[in-house]
Amino acid sequence: MARIIGGIATSHTPTIGFALDAKKQEDPVWKPIFEGYKPVQQWLADRKPDVLLYIFNDHITSFFLDHYSHFALGIGEEYAPADEGGGPRKLPPFQGDPKLAAHIAAGLVADEFDLSYFQGKDLDHGVFSPLSLLLPHETSWPCRIVPFQCGVLNPPIPTPLRFYKLGLALRKAILSYPEDIKVAIVGTGGLSHQVHGERCGFNNTPWDMEFIERLEKDPEGLTKITIAEYATLGGMEGAEVVMWLMMRAALSKKVTKTHQTYYLPSMTPIASVIFENASDEPLDEPVEAYRKRMTEQYDGLEKLSGTYPYTIERSVKAFRLNRFLHELIHPEFRKAFLADPAPLYEQHKLTQEERDLVTKRDWRGMMHYGVIFFLLEKLGAVVGTTNLHIYAAMRGQSLEDFQKTRNAQVLYSVAGTDEGKTDWDKKPARA
């Protein structure tokens, strides 16, 4: 089964990535950053984790305020560096681990944690700033990543206790994963800093030292501190250290701190800590019972013929095609699609199979492939067909035969005001 080989806590300030990209290794002001991370680099090189479970917060880059989740689990196949205003950094994309992510999702939901899932999003300095210094990456990264985005910037946010309990649940989910892989838990953010308002520039090194000490020896005690108290002691943005607390909870009750460094050149301390497990507590329920509980809400669905639950696995498999079809909500994309879809197919890197499914309006084939129905009905609206035509096609029936199974022979679609999209609505419905 999977093993958790230890935990890393690290700042994720963009200062780290800037220093690396600007080749500041020998500059006396910047050199302590590089020196401080050398033990973490060596630890990762020696331990060789297969996967990093990476806890971070986005900085209103890929997770905007129009939909801001508390806990968002990355389930995708690949994550590239985000453009934060000056172009993305020249780094290769990180490979994800959708299978492990799906297992973690099942475990956390079974333990009553409400998650959102993401894929196809580029990740900002919260991920790539420290990792670009910690791991070799000339052409690719040496391990996979399961990113876990925490919405800490838009109060009310979850309590420190909730972050801690989520870390405990993460530990259980990972340790129950049946494959023999090594997982390192990385908690990022902090330490004391504030980057907005008249209080910007606030730091509190004594509190930072106390927090690290308590994180090692009394993490549960840190759950009793309120967000306001964290902000008072460590700055408003410094309250993101709850993500370090989440990492710590995913480790054993007793840990050994094998490394600690701290350097405060400007606005944010650049700190790193390594914890290794020093005890071996059993899970609070047998693994088989836990795995059974993960799936009990869905056991039996496989017996329903013609039914395809839109699982994480299906979502990942057909993500590229679903994203393409989702673009049809934009008028200019619809116009270009109807004029000539070929350039759009190329732009979105659709496979030949995916192109054929769309071009042939193979509604049943797209559904089998993994397209969610609510994107089929959008495509239907764009090309001027009805939901009923799509339903009939999915059943392998003619529209006439399908309508015989309905109480009323009506037609409808989700088309709005685009001209000609409801021309089929010319005859009165038949009861």
SS3 102: helix
Side chain identity at 266, as an amino acid letter? S
Distance linking the first and last C-alpha atoms of the chain: 59
Q: Which of 310, 164, 159 is nearest to 247 (CA)?
A: 164
Distances (CA, A) of 167 to 155, 163, 344, 431: 20, 6, 42, 57
Dump strand ranges (E) for 144-289.
144-150, 182-188, 255-263, 270-277
Q: Are 80 and 122 in contact (CB under 8 A)?
A: yes
71 - beta bridge partners? 150
Q: In whole angstroms, what is the distance from residue 260 CA to residue 263 CA?
A: 10
DSSP secondary structure string for all residues of 18-68: HHHHTT-TT-TTTHHHHHHHHHHHHHHHHH--SEEEEEE---SSSS-TTS-
SS3 409: strand
Residue 326 among the catalytic residues: no
Number of other residues whose CB lies within 10 A of the CB of residue 415: 22
Residue 193 among the catalytic residues: yes
In this structure, what DSSP letter does residue 81 have?
B
Spot the catalytic one: 193, 259, 330, 389.
Answer: 193
- Whether cis (ω within 30° of 0) applies to the bond prior to 153 is no
Distances (CA, A) of 221 to 164, 218, 225: 11, 5, 8
Spot the catalytic one: 125, 137, 326, 330.
Answer: 125
SS3 227: helix
Residue 364, classified by CB atoms within 10 Å of its CB into exposed (0-12), middle (13-18) or buried (19+), is middle
Percentages helix, strand, coil for the chain (3-state, rounded to 5) are: 45, 15, 45
Catalytic residues: 125, 193
